[in-house]
Amino acid sequence: MHLLFIFLGGGLGAVARWSIGWLSKMILGVAFPYGTLVANVLGAFLIGMAYGWLTKQDSATWFAPLLITGFLGGFTTFSSFSYETLFLFQKAYYLKALLNIFFNVTLCLLAVLVGTKLTT
C-alpha cells in the first residue's frame, strides 16, 4: 500500500513542480531557474515541517510515504537543479550558475531547519 501512496504523491508533486516552473517563466520570462529554486526551498521547508510533525504522531504511518517520499520527493527537483546549473555554466552564465548553487543549497538547508523547528 505504501508504494501506491508514493506513486500518487510523486505524480502530484511532479505536476505541482512543473506548474511552478511554467508560471515563473510566464510571469518573469528570465533566464534564471526561479521555479526550481522556489520548489526546492518550499519543498525543503515542507519536508522539515512534515518531519517535525510526523515525529510526534503514532498513527500516521501512511502519511509519510504519501507526503515526504511521494509528493515532496516529486516536487523538489535536484535533477532539475543540476541540469539547469549545468546549462547556465555551458552558456557562460557563471555568476548565475554559482548563485543558483548557493541559493538552492543555503536556502534549502535553512528551510528544513526552520520547518523542523516550527514543528518540534
Average of per-residue pLDDT values in the chain = 91
56: DSSP letter: T
Give first-to-last CA distance, the chain, whole Å. Answer: 28
Which residue, 84, 91, 90, is CA-closest to 37?
84
Domain ranges in the chain are 2-119
Q: What is the pLDDT of residue 64?
A: 84
Q: What is the pLDDT of residue 58?
A: 74
Per-residue pLDDT reduced to its tens digit, 32-73: 889 989 999 999 999 999 888 888 877 767 788 899 889 999
Q: What is the pLDDT of residue 43?
A: 92
